[in-house]
Amino acid sequence: MNDNPLAAIILAAGKGTRMKSDLHKVLHPLAGKPMLGHLTDAVQSLGAVRTVIVTGAGREQVVAFATPLGLEVAVQAEQLGTAHAVLQAQTALAGFDGDVLILYGDVPLVSPETMARMVARLHEGDAPAVVVLGFRPADTLRYGRIIADHGRIVKMVEHKDASPAERAETLCNSGLMAVRASDAWPLLGRVGNANAAGEYYLPDIVMLAAEDGRHSAVIETGADEVAGVNSRAELAEVEAIWQKRRRVRAMEEGASLLAPDSVWFAWDTAIGRDVTVGQNVVFGPGARIADKVTIHAFCHIEDASVASGAIIGPYARLRPGAEIGENAHVGNFVEIKKARLGRGAKANHLTYIGDADVGAGTNIGAGTITCNYDGFGKYRTQIGARAFIGSNSALVAPVTIGDGAMVAAGSVVTNDVPGDALAVARGVQENRDGWALRFRERSKKG
C-alpha cells in the first residue's frame, strides 16, 4: 500500500487563442463548472496535499480561481515547452517528498480512479521511474507515440520527430504522468531542446531515466478520458462526452430518462431513485431532486430542491432558492424563485412566485403574481396553509395571506388577509343593458 503524500501539477499556461475568448481557456465551463475545477476536485478527492497550477497569459483569472481554494499558482513567463512548464512548479513544491501527478488544465475528464491507477503503478514491484498515461485514438496524426513492451516503455517520441515506423504505432501519449518528486526535478533539469520544435519536452524524462538504467511504465485509458479542449468545438465535444456519462449514471442509479440525449445535467446535480425526467429538461448547478419526482418536458431547474412525490412541468422554471415540498405540483409556464412551496401545494398554470412562502395544501390560481420588487428592494409574500388564491391575482409584497383564506379572482391584494377570510380587491362590476347592441348599430352607420 502506498502511503506517500500526493501533489498535483496542473499545466495551464497556454494562451488558448483558438477559443477566441477573454476568459482563460481552462476556466471555460464544463457542465457548469470550470474545466480546471473538475481536475482540482479530482485530485483533492485523492487526498492531494499540494496542488500547483502553472499558468502564463491571463494568470490573474487563474489566481482568482485558485486562491479561495487554497491552491498555489506558478508562472511560466515564456512558453518553452511542457518540461519547462513543470519546472516552474519546483519552487512551490520545495521540500515536498512524495508522488506528483502531472495533469493538463484543458484535459478535464480524467477520473480520480485513473489518477489513482497511475500513482499506484509507481509503487508496484518493479517501481518504474515514470508512469505515463497512454491511449489509442481513432486518429493518431498529432500525438506523440509510445513504443512499449508488456507495459514497459521502450521509447517515446513526438509526432514531429517520429520515423514512419514509429508513426505506425497506435499507442499515443496523453501527456499525463506520475513521478516521484525525488526523480522529477533531476530528470527535468536534464531535458534539452534539440528537436524539431526547439522545445523542452516533458516526455524526454522517460528516455533520460532509461539512460540511467531505469525503466518507465505505461497504463492505458480510453481516448474520451483524455480528450483535450483547444477550441469551442472541442469544448462542445467534451461536454457531450461528460453528459453521456452522467445520463448513464443517472439511469444506473434508478432514474428514468424518457429521451436521454435531450436531458442536460450540471456537475453537481443530485437525482434520486424512481425519478422520471421528460424530454428537453435542463438541470443547472445546485439542482437537488428527491425520489419519486416527475419532471415533465421542457423544464429548467437550477439551485433548487424538489421533494419526494412532486410533479414539475411541463415548461416550468425553478430558479435559485426554489424549494418544492412533497407531492407539490408546479405546472406549465410557472416560474418559482427564492420561494418555498409547501407539501401538496399547487401552482399549475401561468404563475410567478418569487420571494414567497406558500403553505401546505394551498392552491395558486392561473395568472397569479407575487409582486416582490418595487425597483429598489425585494419583499416577501407569506401565504398560509390551505389557502386559495383565485386566478389573475396580484399579491403586492410585503403581504400575508392567512391559513384557509381565499382571494377572489382578479384581485390586487395590498393588505394582509386574515385566516379563513375572503379578500376581494377589484373594481365593482357594472352591467349596462343593451349598450353593446347600440354600439354595434352606431358603428355600422358610421
- End-to-end CA, the chain: 98
The answer to whether residues 279 and 205 belong to one domain is no
DSSP calls for 1-23:
-----EEEEEEE----GGG--SS
Q: Which residues pair with 357 in a beta bridge?
A: 340, 382
Q: What CATH number is associated with residue 346? A: 2.160.10.10
Residue 34 lies in a domain: yes
Residues 219 and 267 in one domain: no
Q: Is residue 432 part of a domain?
A: no
Angle value at C-alpha 120, between 114 and 123, nearest 5 degrees: 155
155 lies in the same domain as 53: yes
Pair (294, 414) in one structural domain? yes
The answer to whether residues 177 and 257 belong to one domain is no
Q: Residue 233: inside a domain, yes or no? A: no
Q: C-alpha 182: how far from its chain's center?
A: 36
Cβ neighbours around 70 below 10 Å, total: 9
Q: Is 349 annotated in the active site?
A: yes
Domain that includes residue 181, residue range: 6-226
| pTM: predicted TM-score of the whole model, two decimal places | 0.92
Domain contains 239: no
The answer to whether residues 357 and 260 belong to one domain is: yes
In this structure, are 250 and 385 located in the same domain?
Answer: yes
How big is the chain, counted in residues? 446
Is there a single domain that holds both residue 250 and residue 294? yes
Is residue 437 a part of any domain in this protein?
no
**HEC assignment per residue over 32-82:** CEEHHHHHHHHHHHCCCCEEEEEEECEHHHHHHHHHHHCCEEEECCCCCCH
Task: Flag whether 238 is in a domain.
Answer: no
Q: Are 263 and 284 in contact (CB under 8 A)?
A: no
Tell me: do 75 and 181 sit in the same domain: yes
Other beta carbons within 10 angstroms of residue 94's beta carbon come to 9
Of 177, 193, 226, which residue constitutes the final position of a domain?
226
Q: Assess whether 321 and 215 both reside in one domain.
A: no
CATH of the domain at 22: 3.90.550.10
Q: Are 218 and 131 in contact (CB under 8 A)?
A: yes
Specify whether 58 is located in the same domain as 126.
yes
Catalytically annotated residue among 123, 159, 215, 349: 349
Please check whether residues 315 and 190 belong to one and the same domain: no
Q: Does a structural domain hold residue 1?
A: no
Task: Going residue by residue through the chain, which has 446 residues, state the pLDDT in tens, using 9 for 90 and above.
Answer: 578 999 999 999 887 899 999 999 999 999 999 999 999 999 999 999 999 999 998 899 999 999 999 999 999 988 899 999 999 999 999 999 999 999 999 999 999 999 999 999 999 988 999 999 999 999 988 899 999 999 999 999 888 888 999 999 999 999 999 999 999 999 999 999 988 788 999 999 999 999 999 999 999 999 999 999 999 999 999 999 999 999 999 999 999 999 999 999 999 999 999 999 999 999 999 999 999 999 999 999 999 999 999 999 999 999 999 999 999 999 999 999 999 999 999 999 999 999 999 999 999 999 999 999 999 999 999 999 999 999 999 999 999 999 999 999 999 999 999 999 999 999 888 999 999 999 999 999 87
Strand, coil or helix: what is 130? strand
CA–CA–CA angle 117, 121, 125 (5° rounding): 145
Q: How many domains does the chain have?
A: 2
Confirm whether 446 is domain-assigned: no
